[in-house]
């Protein structure tokens, strides 16, 4: 499809900025200290990665606090933007508004294994679970990494889940790591991305982590600029990707908000996806989960929630950009390949 002279000028300006600054981050508000989910105090992230030939997969753990979450659950809300997905735990969160476990991310066929891992982890701290105590509600979210990973190998293990949980830290890798190892995004290499926004009016922070595995190259939009048509000639043999495969968005904040408000905040992640070019196509499971680390008796007034809604959209957009720019190229199952966006932008910028 032909583009206008103005669009071409915008593309050139974007590429010049990339060449000169090696980043594409134009936030609409102040960012957190490290521009990461873990800028929210108490939140940690860990990975376990398998990169062995046709096995390209892994696990990512999001640990919301050091507390026993089963005994001290956090307020949590869920927004299912597009329901082509196989998660566990969303139904009870939607009903009760509580997060009882860390969040584990991986590929679609690993959900059962990760569910069991979280049950066992909760049992260690709560030995009467399922007897004198109620059962637990593990939260496991997935995307299909079957293009780059031999998903039938069922390579994800409980040991990997425990490794991801044990390694959780405030500083963590992004891109082609953990659950993001085998993920594709806009026909390029996707994976783990993150961003955060500081909210001075609320004396709070909002952070986002995405597992990005969605989008068609011709719809890719970076900072409002359609760029896919400039990238496509650089990868003539690229197998196109549909706007399918899914994205998981995990939002954390230390603002005083309840489960209903968190559901509203989670829904705004969809605005961020739209800005980067997603239309939530058939076959895509697009799910946003938002939790607060603050168990507050009183919550932010509804008229003051606007900064959180705007930050959720903005940080989601830039978390996807972060995933794309952080990811390294990967070749995996049956020789399938996904190139890195940063490498392609370098090629285009060098030709200016």
DSSP state, 134? P
* CA nearest neighbour of 243 among 228, 264, 261: 228
Spatial CB neighbours of 352, under 8 Å, sequence gap ≥ 6: 12, 15, 16, 19
Name the burial class of residue 7, with classes exposed (0-12), middle (13-18) and buried (19+) by CB atoms within 10 angstroms of its CB: middle
Written as one string, the DSSP assignment of 149-208 is S-GGG----HHHHHHHHHT-BSS---BSSGGGTT-EETTEE-EEEEEEEEEGGGTEEEEE
Residue 243 is predicted with a pLDDT of 79
Residue 157 is predicted with a pLDDT of 98
Angle, helices 259-267/269-276, rounded to nearest 10 degrees? 10
Which runs of E-coded beta strand occur in 90-138? Answer: 98-99, 103-107
Q: Is 79 an active-site residue?
A: no
Active-site residue (options: 79, 196, 246, 278):
246
Written as one string, the DSSP assignment of 3-57 is --HHHHHHHHHHHHHHHHHS-----SS---SSSSGGGSTT-EEEEEEEEETTEEE
Q: Is 246 an active-site residue?
A: yes
Written as one string, the DSSP assignment of 292-337 is ES---SS---GGG-HHHHHHHHHHHHHHHHHHHHHPPPEE-GGG-E
Q: For residues 14 and 222, what is the distance between their CA atoms, to the nearest angstrom?
A: 8
Q: Is 286 an active-site residue?
A: yes
Residue 297 is predicted with a pLDDT of 85
The answer to whether the beta carbons of residues 145 and 213 sit under 8 Å apart is yes
The answer to whether the beta carbons of residues 341 and 188 sit under 8 Å apart is yes
Residue 1 is predicted with a pLDDT of 55
Side-chain-side CA neighbours of 237 within 13 Å: the count stands at 5
Active-site residue (options: 284, 292, 322, 326):
284
Residue 2 is predicted with a pLDDT of 66
Q: Give pTM, 2 decimals.
A: 0.97
Cβ neighbours around 102 below 10 Å, total: 25
Q: For residues 321 and 245, what is the distance between their CA atoms, to the nearest angstrom?
A: 17
Active-site residue (options: 39, 150, 286, 322):
286
Residue 161 is predicted with a pLDDT of 98
Q: Quick one: how many helices (H) and strands (E) in the chain?
A: 9, 16
**Positions of the chain with pLDDT lower than 70, given as ranges:** 1-2
């569910």: which residue's tokens?
115
* CA nearest neighbour of 62 among 74, 50, 72: 74
């Amino acid at each position: 499809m032909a583009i206008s002279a103005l669009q071409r000028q915008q593309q050139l300006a974007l590429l010049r900025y990339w060449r000169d600054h090696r980043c594409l981050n134009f936030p609409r508000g102040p960012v957190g200290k490290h521009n990461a989910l873990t800028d929210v105090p108490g939140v940690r992230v860990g990975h376990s990665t398998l990169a062995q030939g046709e096995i390209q997969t892994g696990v990512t753990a999001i640990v919301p606090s050091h507390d026993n979450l089963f005994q001290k659950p956090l307020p949590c809300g869920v927004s299912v933007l597009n329901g082509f997905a196989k998660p566990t735990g969303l139904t009870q969160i939607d009903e009760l508004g509580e997060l009882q476990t860390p969040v584990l991310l991986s590929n679609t066929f690993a959900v059962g294994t990760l569910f069991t891992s979280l049950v066992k982890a909760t049992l260690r701290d709560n030995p009467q679970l399922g007897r004198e105590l109620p059962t637990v509600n593990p939260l496991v979210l997935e995307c299909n990494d079957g293009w780059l990973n031999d998903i039938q190998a069922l390579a994800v293990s409980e040991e990997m889940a425990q490794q991801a949980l044990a390694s959780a830290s405030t500083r963590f890798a992004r891109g082609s790591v953990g659950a993001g190892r085998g993920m594709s995004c806009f026909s390029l290499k996707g994976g783990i991305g993150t961003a955060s926004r500081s909210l001075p009016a609320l004396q709070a922070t909002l952070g986002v982590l995405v597992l990005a595995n969605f989008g068609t190259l011709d719809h890719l939009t970076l900072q409002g600029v359609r760029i896919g048509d400039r990238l496509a000639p650089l990868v003539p043999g690229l197998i196109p990707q549909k706007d399918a495969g899914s994205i998981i968005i995990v939002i954390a904040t230390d603002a005083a908000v309840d489960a209903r408000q968190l559901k509203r905040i989670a829904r705004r992640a969809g605005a961020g996806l739209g800005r980067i070019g997603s239309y939530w196509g058939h076959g895509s499971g697009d799910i946003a989960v938002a939790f607060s680390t603050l168990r507050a008796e009183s919550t932010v007034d509804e008229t003051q929630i606007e900064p959180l809604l705007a930050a959720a959209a903005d940080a989601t957009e830039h978390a996807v950009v972060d995933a794309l720019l952080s990811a390294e190229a990967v070749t995996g199952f049956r020789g399938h390949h996904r190139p890195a966006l940063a490498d392609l932008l370098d090629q285009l910028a060098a030709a200016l």
